[in-house]
Structure 1
């Protein structure tokens, strides 16, 4: 094997700092996952078969999506928009169907992209007998009922996860989320946005809480998805106390990432099992799985995708606190964070809301909102009151942005549902539980009938 110089700390930092962009180039990416189900049995679809996930992927190619292969299996689709930016459809371990949207300029663009995707999915799904549901945790099926998708990295993760926490396999197979990806201008801007969004991430979890059922019954959680992350893998999840410490920046995040044990390294089409091994040792060419082989910059980029904190830093910041939900809340999450991040007075106001919370507050709040939602408390205030402030700040930020649709309407309307949730103090999960105990009379099949896309 040819020798080459090992990666340096500066190179690792540079892969992140390269994401810096001036404010006039900032964009937003929206991602969402959803559960497929057989409309006759409500079971999760397998990969193969006439009503399977592969049939969904094949069917979507009629809309200009190009297949991405791993070996002989189609495991993703890609499509460029008119500006040349790429969106992708990918598979989570249990077949959760994910749209990773293109980086777009406005919430109007994001909601158009989301709507187009959901309509395309529905056209194909209707033809093959599938439906799709947006909730945060599989409401009915056990782990063993969920088919596993044929992606090499998932085999490695499925073997390693149970060694680190009790709920890692649930994370892989039974959770579904909405995410938003946002830009930063500089290291100082990244730090301000990281700290603010990490502190406020549990507030978003409460606003979007939409997973009160496990295996057909109320679970005691309003966000069973968020609870899963409290016992998945402490090495790579959580609230990252160091983000709030003096001196935090790119270098400190790189040190954290270096200390997170690896999952894999990809060589050709093969995922080599590196689970539990040190990326630092890999840089030095001292890992047993690939003796003499050294980590390259692509390995580093792959490794960064295996970190799962509540906010994740790559060449942008990923907001990771929300349960899956309906079309309207897919648009609401990027609107919430865009209003806060992309208007300087709003970012400062949001930090004022949470700047006095200490590390114990962060950790307690993260756990409390999984059960209590907007009824939880932090630093002497109810989460509902904080949520009201947070949505109002975001609304001001979107007003100041003044990005107008073709109908000359700004982006504030995408926060309407969140405003209603915060004002009422009633989470989406609370509403589902009221239906379950009321009109549905305990019949959870109504969730699939009434809330499918």
Structure 2
């Protein structure tokens, strides 16, 4: 989740300003960049429990150690360091202490790999001395809600109190899930629309391919992605796959108006959060917000509000694809490779759009509901999603080939698709791998996942 506080103080005159804000993200195709964000669960080496913020060797100590090592600028909330930023990237905390790297916008996937390698080296340089480890998994494999700590960020307190009012699994989303997402650009409204529709239609496939959370409080519970299950009832007014994306006339204006129908969480002023949960941003624009009477919303407020909508594919000044469980480094890179290959080559994007065109909105929702349990084995047409994966990955590979971005070894970006190509060819997903380990060498002890999944 992003840190609030955009400094844009321009008063919003009407909804057209919001569409213009989103449209300002358009850039020439030769300037497209790739941003990757990924999260991991921290655990204490001595007992595999999640570390609190305050404890000796806990999350605050981790941030202090990274700051001392890297010299990055602290992000503060009431005097508490709740993140760090430097070199166009940031480190931040999810509500339960999940540790997130929000990567810098980079020119190619080889630079993304270098950034990830540097992040892993950063962690390996500080966490052993703190008695910590980090495991990138989609849902915490052993901890109950009550066992998860709470990070000292003001917006999280508001969300913790509000989530149970709007869904049964919102607190699990906050405290017990981790994801990986890729952020990509668009050059025009038409380009944005096509990418939002293709990305949304293929999110169930991405969820299936990246499934990496088959355990719930120490045991299998019949799901391959408990993280994806959580999102089926978190807060459906702000999450899922909004119908507006597939409606005639969809564009910046339509998405902005959908955001205006998403209930508010907060107003952020001078380091303080005013509780606006459930309120209308339209009222805020008109100066009628009860918690800030007479005050009108700014463009910075809208930027903050946009971060509180959680669709599987989210539009800001760029597009975020958000439907995947966090996973091993190779799978993190594969997530970025998949969408870069599809989105950043014109022929690949057209081929993907043609492939998903026969899917109705109801078809997409049905797939989204099915994949948490059945993953790539979900029925699709005359076969399964594994068959669709082979077609989609061929399109992505062609797109990456056409980009022709090579590393020092002469490899183009297709190298990062290999883990997904193996799954499409019949190899187990990460979740299926862990289940085999649980029923085999682990002897039913899920805690062994921490050592094997750790960075």
* TM-score in terms of structure 1 length: 0.97
User: In terms of mean alpha carbon deviation, does 384-393 or 60-69 score higher?
Assistant: 60-69
CA distance in 1 between partners of 2:411 and 2:74 (Å): 36
- Find the partner of 2:78 among 51, 61, 71: 71
Aligned residues of 2:393 and 2:421 also touching (Cα < 8 A): yes
Q: Specify the alignment match of 1:376 in structure 2.
A: 378
2:54 aligned residue: 48
Give the secondary-structure state (helix, strand or coil) at the position aligned to 2:89. Answer: strand
CA deviation digits over 1:268-292, x for unaligned, max 9?
Answer: 1101000000000000111111111
Q: Which residue of 1 aligns with 2:414?
A: 412
Deviation by residue 1:381-406 (Cα, 9 ceiling, x = unmatched)? 41110111111111111011000112
Whether contact under 8 Å (1:6, 1:284) holds in the other structure is no
Q: How many Å apart are 1:351 and its aligned residue?
A: 1.3
Superposition pairs of residues 94-113 of structure 1, within 5 angstroms:
94-113=96-115
Cα pair 1:374 1:426 within 8 Å, conserved: no
Unaligned runs of 5+ in 1: 81-85
Match of 2:29 in 1: 23
In the alignment, which of 245, 250, 253 is matched to residue 251 of structure 1?
Answer: 253
Contact 1:357 1:379 survives alignment (8 Å): no
Query: Distance in 1 between the 2:332 and 2:13 partners?
Result: 38
What residue in structure 2 maps to residue 83 of structure 1?
none
Which residue in 1 is equivalent to 2:6?
none
Inter-partner Cα distance in structure 2 for 1:5 and 1:103: 28
Structure 1 residue matching 2:100: 3-state secondary structure: strand
What is the Cα deviation at residue 158 of structure 1?
0.4
Which SS does the other structure have where 1:94 is aligned? coil
State the number of aligned residues.
446
Q: For 1:370 and 1:309, how far apart are their aligned partners in 2?
A: 16
- In the alignment, which residue of structure 1 is the partner of 2:14? 8
| Structure-2 residue corresponding to 1:271 | 273
1:12 deviation in Å?
0.7
Cross-structure match for 1:445:
447
CA distance in 2, matches of 1:109, 1:30: 11
Residue segments in structure 2 that go unaligned for 5+ positions in a row: 1-9
Alignment RMSD: 1.2
Q: TM-score, normalised by structure 2?
A: 0.96
Query: Which residue number in structure 1 is paired with residue 343 of structure 2?
Result: 341
Superposition pairs of residues 4-403 of structure 1, within 5 angstroms: 6-61=12-67, 62-80=69-87, 86-403=88-405
Note the C-alpha offset of 1:380: 4.2
- Are the counterparts in 1 of residues 207 and 325 from structure 2 also a CA contact under 8 Å? yes
